[in-house]
Amino acid sequence: MPERDKHNGGDPIDSVYWRDEVLQVMYWMTGEGLGQEFTLADLHKFLSADDAVLADNLEQMVSTGLLEQVGGDKYALTEQGKREGGRRFADEFEEMLKPGHFECDEPDCDCHDPDSIEGACKHFSPAHEPHSNAVN
């Protein structure tokens, strides 16, 4: 992973890079039910940073209130960290999280026809206003 390897220095841009990566990974791991508290070894499963770089960035995030240190060697997202991690995760994976072709719940919709023109379903278009039977 040469792209990540260049981010193992001590400059401020590297810190921003690793802060974003750690917040996204911890947010994702928490959301996937892999735990709420993570060690350096847990993070290394998904991040290829030197121990010193990762540990330094974790400490910086503790001092800024994004993480809290738990039990000496574990870290957990604070409420602020969860918000920031969720925002960064959504920004990073926005295109992958959008509904795609064939993801409509209307069984008679053209988007379920493999011969239809590929593109977003009309039900996901901002111009389409679904009929709501919801009681307020």
Residues 60 and 22: their CA atoms lie apart, in Å, by 12
Confidence band for 63, pLDDT divided at 50, 70 and 90 = very high
Higher pLDDT, 52 or 95: 52
Average pLDDT over residues 25-47: 93
For the chain, the structural domain boundaries read: 2-96, 101-128
pLDDT for residue 135 is more than 50: no
pLDDT for residue 119 is more than 60: no
Reported for 84-88, long-range contacts at CB under 8 A and 24+ positions apart, including other chains, are 84/23, 85/23, 85/24, 85/26, 85/27, 86/27, 88/20, 88/23, 88/24, 88/27
Q: What is 2-96's CATH number?
A: 1.10.10.10
The pLDDT > 70 percentage for the chain reads 61
